[in-house]
Structure 1
């Protein structure tokens, strides 16, 4: 499988000043073309303008936003041209199902995927924009109900990365159960739960590094010895044996392919921050 040249950045929601500063300080110059995609939100003008101003306050001078929905199709020649020249693509929060509905399968979406594979582009997102990055995304499952069979719903995402569930607002909204449920149902997937104001940088489609003040939860279902998912009826509680979990904070990394956890050395952290 081709190793992607692009970088993914996913934030768990909340205050995203740290994410914007990270993009500006480490991943783009003041002249980089930044495109903000506001499709997930129902307040596209307000959200787009707010992000444009936030990047401009840090010195960026080429920031635009586009809203793609039922009235603004993805494959407008103008949008295709702008995404072809973008060095940073940023997805706002909102409802991740809107990203699937209005973007998935379009020429614009395919262009983003190709550029992520073949070029050193940065694709970032917060909340819904982060949750939609993988080939499948969680969109439903609440509280204790999420540990009942059938209560957690997943669907196709934007497919920049494979076999990963990214869940956001993870600790703040009690989403442990739904990520555990999703990973148990699809043990080839790694579950990544992002707390607010906390995120991950994914390089080479494989190495996860944490930034922010909170915790990133990793769930690995590859060693599950038993679950009753195939035995119980819809709505019944589920049992899981030997689900592996890791808690990462800034200064730690996780390798998706080998499924290992590691604390970064000071030298590695310094080197990583420059790449």
Structure 2
């Protein structure tokens, strides 16, 4: 199996100052090229404001090479300048907003192809918060609210940006009651592992496999690999789903989950430096 050299860093939303501090203090150097992409923000002026705000946040921490990459209806992804910049970036940061919008503007572009290739073959950081976390896998959840998400037809998924495969990453997990929709998603696609990120809590995925926690909260892992029964493909629309033997793990700082082996284990002390609790604000 191919060894992935890059890292994915995903935050569940909320206050992301700690995530920016983590990227800066533990991972990237002051001279690292950082590209901020705010395409998930629907309104053009809001996206510019959001992108520049993140740019300034990195600059305030001393980063010297931070740029906002403007991609929307009027600014295509595959410009010569964008392709050159993404080929040099050490960190790519996706802001929050609408994950479907973000994925639609990136999928099918040479820009995304370069990102994926560099993630597999180079020591690059792909990071994001909220919608920017959800797009990281090949499929993502974009609908399903509260107890309604356990009704067939209420939970919906679509194509993500495919940095990693066979994972559903959901954000604002505890705060917005999203357990049902993540459980429904993995019960329907049991080859997928569900990762639920609470706000101000996130994950670092190393080698495309090892999921480690940063922040003070809890990451929920939902594993459907050993389910014995599921009616999600057979039950009629608008009927509730039934699943037997769905497994759940609660992951905090100091522990990790290996996706390929479906294994929960402590992080050895000598490996935990870059996945620790977020630096104080």
What is the TM-score with the length of structure 2 in the denominator? 0.95
CA displacement at 1:134 relative to structure 2:
0.2
| Alpha carbons 2:34, 2:90 under 8 Å: kept | yes
Any idea what SS the aligned residue of 1:89 has? strand
Match among 89, 95, 104 for residue 101 of structure 1: 104
| Alpha carbons 2:186, 2:194 under 8 Å: kept | yes
> How far apart, CA to CA, are the structure 2 residues paired with 1:19 and 1:96?
19
How far does the alpha carbon of each residue in 1:211-252 deviate from its partner, in whole angstroms, 9 at most, with x for none?
A: 001110000001111122233210111111110000011111
> How far apart, CA to CA, are the structure 1 residues paired with 2:275 and 2:151?
41
Distance 1:212 1:272, change over 3 A: closer
Match among 114, 117, 128 for residue 117 of structure 2: 114
What is the total number of aligned residue pairs between the two structures? 273
- Who is 2:73 aligned against? 70
Q: Which runs of 5+ in 1 are unaligned?
A: none
- Who is 2:18 aligned against? 18
> How far apart, CA to CA, are the structure 1 residues paired with 2:18 and 2:233?
43
Any idea what SS the aligned residue of 1:25 has? helix
After TM superposition, the structure 1 stretch with the greater mean CA deviation from structure 2, 195-204 or 262-271, is 262-271
> How far apart, CA to CA, are the structure 1 residues paired with 2:142 and 2:252?
25
Q: Which runs of 5+ in 2 are unaligned?
A: 277-281
Distance 1:59 1:264, change over 3 A: same
CA displacement at 1:267 relative to structure 2:
3.1
How far does the alpha carbon of each residue in 1:25-46 deviate from its partner, in whole angstroms, 9 at most, with x for none?
A: 1111011000001110131111
CA displacement at 1:272 relative to structure 2:
6.2
How far does the alpha carbon of each residue in 1:24-72 deviate from its partner, in whole angstroms, 9 at most, with x for none?
A: 0111101100000111013111101110111011110110011211111
How far does the alpha carbon of each residue in 1:175-201 deviate from its partner, in whole angstroms, 9 at most, with x for none?
A: 000000000000000000000000000
- Who is 2:3 aligned against? 3
> How far apart, CA to CA, are the structure 2 residues paired with 1:96 and 1:33?
24
> How far apart, CA to CA, are the structure 1 residues paired with 2:114 and 2:273?
32
Equivalent positions of 1:116-135 (< 5 A) are 116-135=119-138
CA displacement at 1:154 relative to structure 2:
0.5
Measured on the aligned residues, the alpha-carbon RMSD in Å equals 1.2
> How far apart, CA to CA, are the structure 2 residues paired with 1:97 and 1:200?
21
CA displacement at 1:268 relative to structure 2:
3.2
